[in-house]
Chain A
Amino acid sequence: MMPSFFRPVLSHTLRRAVVLRQGLSNNTVARTQLFRAAFSQTAVKATPSTTVIQETSKSAYKTERDPNFKELSEQDLAFFKSVLPPSSIVQDEDNLSNYNIDWLKRYQGHSKLVLKPSTTEQVSKLLKYCSDNRIAVVPQGGNTGVVGGGTPVFDEVIISTSNMNNIRSFDAISGSLVCDAGCILENLDNFLAENGHIMPLDLGAKGRQVCQIGGNVSTNAGGLRYLRYGSLHGNVLGLEVVLPDGTILNNMSTLRKDNTGYDLKQLFIGAEGTLGIVTGVSIASPKRPKAVNLALLGVDSFDQVIATFKRSKDELCEIVSAFEFWDQASINLVQKHLAVGSNIPLQSSHQFYVLVETSGSNKEHDDEKLGQLLEGLITDGIIQDGVLAQDTTQIRNLWAIREGIPEACSKAGAVYMYDISMPVSVLYKLVEDLKTRFQEKGVFGEGKLIKSVTGFGHMGDGNLHLNVEADAFTPEATGLIEPFIYEWTAENSGSISAEHGLGRMKNQYLHYTKAPEMIDLMRRLKVVFDPKGIMNPYKFFPSS
């Protein structure tokens, strides 16, 4: 049977498709080609097997649907229809597929119902009912998560925050922004730009056009500016959360300092929707920098990348706002598969590339510091080559190269995405060890099962993104990578998920990074918040 997303598109899906197309990121292959075909008659090129979703709820970790969860009845639907208008309820299959399939098109859910409340009170009524009737729920924001945490495993009801997109208030003195959880990150940033401020996180040009702040908070998203502005744990001032029993927890403070009792909001940040639904966010926004500089550097060994990093921190100090790196395999894929790849600076091919960004309030001051750093790096032979962006358009294009790597990887094949943090000194060693492993097993190379391995990421945060481009998502390919990659991480005292979270992809591997006592305490907390266990089941925790 043809998967539903191949059928002709309907208006709602069309609108969402336009948003998705504008917010292109990983694995938009089949979806954009489908919608392009709907708009024009041009023939669509055959795509690799990434378009076929391999891991359905039936295959992933042999999970079974929990029979304790109620299956939806007419009565339930009637109740939901009494709370929400028809435009806030999605039941038809074509539209449902957008909510049921994740950003990377790796997981297929089977929800029959999407609810899109517009107010916190509505969320409260919905959750209370679901708790009372033991109906499993998946909270969903922009559905841009990459570990399958935002889509259902079976027939869980999806509660989407997309219709809760009001900015509630902004304090021009402190910079605190209060908004609904469904606000899109880019819209928030544009609003702040008008007021001379900036969002403290940035997920790249394409992700930020679709992702919502509630989802960012629930996954403790990191991103490109983490090095400068830190984690959401530090930037979120307050939250409004609806607990599974319908209680509205209002902790929407705008205070920078408040040491009164346990800081409950920290539990919801990064809880991936397992403790409640975040409906409102109060966040501290820094001042928007007046002067931004960006340099792309070509480096020939990872030791030199580390040396560049150390010296950049030394000489740039407070003005460095991002430090990203990627390897030759990454840039090769970008050159091959993306439009931006046709105009990549740096004449020769280097082993590694580094992107250094500075942000400050004084152009002359920053220009001088950066100029001195770059001159020293080249003169001392730590870097081989580099370019410095001369205007904002060049800055955007250079960032587009880095931000395009995940998309380029997905065009190369079925992409397994890993996100590991470890000591900076061994940041690239995992990539090398993995390649060696594939080579020894004879599965690595053009025409073989594993086509390429790309390493890139947030050097400054010790965060490696490792992508393996395989022929297809198959148990054989998975078995070659896992659990090797997790064992390696544990041996090097790293985290199996630096910023992507656990979802349904990494929940079984939690023990590689967290001790049993900690996991046990987490389980007990979960029961306190969600005694019926309806919030985002089958994920986050290892199945016992």
Chain B
Amino acid sequence: MAGPADLRILVACKRVVDYAVKIRVNAAGTAVETNNLKHSMNPFDEIGAEQAILIKEAFAKSKKTVDVIAVSCGPAKAQETLRTALAMGADRAVHVETNDDLQPLAVAKVLKAIVEKEKPDIVILGKQAIDDDSNQTGQMLAGLLNWPQATFASKVELAEKAMTVTREVDGGIETIKTPLPAILTTDLRLNIPRYASLPNIMKAKKKPLEKIAIASLSIDVAPRIEILKVAEPAKRQGGKTVENVDELISKLKNEAKVL
């Protein structure tokens, strides 16, 4: 638990297969192969960490303090992700250690426990993780805490104990205002994450990183969903040219079977 601050932000980060890596389905067809592949912080979580740091820097201009805590659930390697968040400017990190794959509901429950401990004003999550594309954790956390939620944020403005969030929705742009505490999930255009600078990387080594064994939280994190099968999308077939309309109709009827 940290000392007093004018605002406290909890940033959730997930270690995922790097965005640029080409992925493959494993031999058994049950999951994406992740062995020996480069991992890094979920890009939307990077945006979340950046937003927290931007808020911290903005508050510092009016001499107010912001405590930014990065949290991640996962195996020992999840700490690499937390160090990235610290190197970007987070003040401290919490690692909830588990070797099991957690589904969004379980993560939301874990985060609820951390929220009850740290009492943040805002919890920032990425809108979804690029490995499972669930887009559920932020919303479920809001439900569990009974907090307001502002998802798919492309712009955030903070006022006294409230924030105005511009959201990217299917129909266009929606602007909402919510009191704090609240959940925020980030979308792509919210900001451009900064690089980790060498001085900050060195400072990050001295920042506190708290480890919590997941069992100590006494939460039921058993999966609720069983994945039956994972398969690659059908490979795109090359196009063919036809000589005349008759051949086209014949192909549509007999090969594509759409007539």
| Residues in A lying within 8 Å of B, measured CB to CB | 193, 290-292, 295-297, 343, 345-346, 371, 374-375, 378, 383, 385-394, 396
Contact = CB atoms under 8 A, between A and B. Distances in A.
A378 B202 contact: yes
Closest 9 CB pairs of A and B: A391-B40, A392-B20, A387-B195, A345-B195, A386-B198, A390-B84, A392-B18, A387-B197, A378-B198
Nearest to A394: B195
B197 A375 contact: no
A226 B117 CA distance: 53
Contact of B195 (A291, A375, A378, A390): A390
Interface string B187-220: 0000010111111011000000000000000000
B254 interface: no
B126 interface: no
Given A391-B18, A391-B40, A393-B19, A378 B196 contact: no
B156 interface: no
A392 B40 contact: yes
Nearest to A297: B198
A218 to B, nearest CB: 31
B53 to A, nearest CB: 14
A392 B38 CA distance: 8
A291 B196 CA distance: 18
A388 B201 contact: yes
B39 to A, nearest CB: 9
B36 A390 contact: no
Given A296-B195, A345-B197, 16 more contacts: A290-B38, A343-B192, A371-B201, A378-B199, A378-B202, A385-B197, A385-B198, A388-B198, A388-B201, A390-B195, A390-B196, A391-B19, A392-B18, A393-B43, A394-B195, A396-B20
Size class of the B contact interface (CB-based, 8 Å):
20 to 34
A392 B198 contact: no
B41 A389 contact: no
Contact of A345 (B43, B194, B199): B194
Contacts of B18: 391-393
A195 B36 CA distance: 14
Contacts of A392: 18-21, 38, 40
Nearest to A390: B84
Interface in B15-54: 18-22, 36, 38, 40-41, 43, 46
Nearest to B37: A290
B19 A375 contact: no
Contacts of B46: 390-391
Contacts of A296: 195
Contacts of A343: 192
B158 to A, nearest CB: 24
A296 B198 CA distance: 10
Nearest to B85: A390
Contacts of A391: 18-20, 38, 40-41, 43, 46
A375 B40 contact: no
A42 to B, nearest CB: 23
24 contacts: A193-B22, A290-B36, A290-B38, A291-B38, A295-B198, A297-B198, A345-B194, A345-B195, A345-B197, A374-B198, A374-B201, A375-B198, A387-B197, A388-B87, A389-B195, A390-B46, A390-B195, A391-B18, A391-B19, A392-B18, A393-B18, A393-B20, A393-B43, A396-B20
